C-alpha cells in the first residue's frame, strides 16, 4: 500500500481533512509525502489516527491536552516545573500525616 491521501484517510478514519492537517501541525500524527508533495497516510498513521480517536472517546482527552502531554515528553524543563508545582499542591497534608504516624511509632517503641 502506497498510502492514503488526506481525503481517503479522512473517509477511512472519521477525522476531517482539516483535523488531519491540525494533527500534523501539532506533531501528533505526521504523514509522509509523495514525490509531488501530497500527504500520504500509511498503515502506521492510519492506526495512530484510529487509536487517537479511541483515546479521546475513552478518556475525554482534548487534542490540546494530548499536544501538551507530548511536550512534557520532549521538554524536561517544562516537565520539571509542572512536577514541582503538582508536588507543591498535594504534598503538605499527606506527608504531614505520615510524619505524625512515624513519630507516634517512635514514641511507642
Show the cell assigned to 85.
508545582
Least CB distance to another protein at residue 63 (A): 25
Subset of residues 41 to 80 that bind another protein, contact rule: CB under 8 A: 76-77, 79-80
Total residue count of the chain as it appears in this document: 109
At 73, which helix (H) or strand (E)? helix 63-74
CB of 14 or CB of 80, closer to another protein = 80
Least CB distance from residue 98 to another protein, whole Å?
Answer: 5
| 8: Cα separation from own chain's centroid | 25
Q: How far apart are CA 22 and CA 28, in angstroms?
A: 9
Q: For binding to another protein (CB under 8 A), which residues are involved?
A: 76-77, 79-81, 83-84, 87, 91-100, 102-104, 106-107, 109
Amino acid at each position: 500500500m502506497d498510502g492514503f491521501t488526506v481525503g481517503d484517510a479522512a473517509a477511512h478514519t472519521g477525522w476531517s481533512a482539516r483535523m488531519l492537517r491540525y494533527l500534523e501541525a501539532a506533531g501528533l500524527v505526521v504523514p509522509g509525502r509523495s514525490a509531488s508533495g501530497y500527504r500520504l497516510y500509511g498503515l502506521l498513521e492510519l492506526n495512530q489516527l484510529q487509536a487517537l480517536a479511541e483515546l479521546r472517546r475513552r478518556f475525554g482527552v482534548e487534542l490540546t491536552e494530548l499536544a501538551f502531554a507530548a511536550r512534557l515528553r520532549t521538554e524536561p524543563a517544562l516537565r520539571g516545573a509542572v512536577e514541582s508545582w503538582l508536588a507543591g499542591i498535594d504534598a503538605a497534608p499527606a506527608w504531614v500525616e505520615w510524619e505524625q504516624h512515624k513519630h507516634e511509632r517512635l514514641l511507642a517503641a
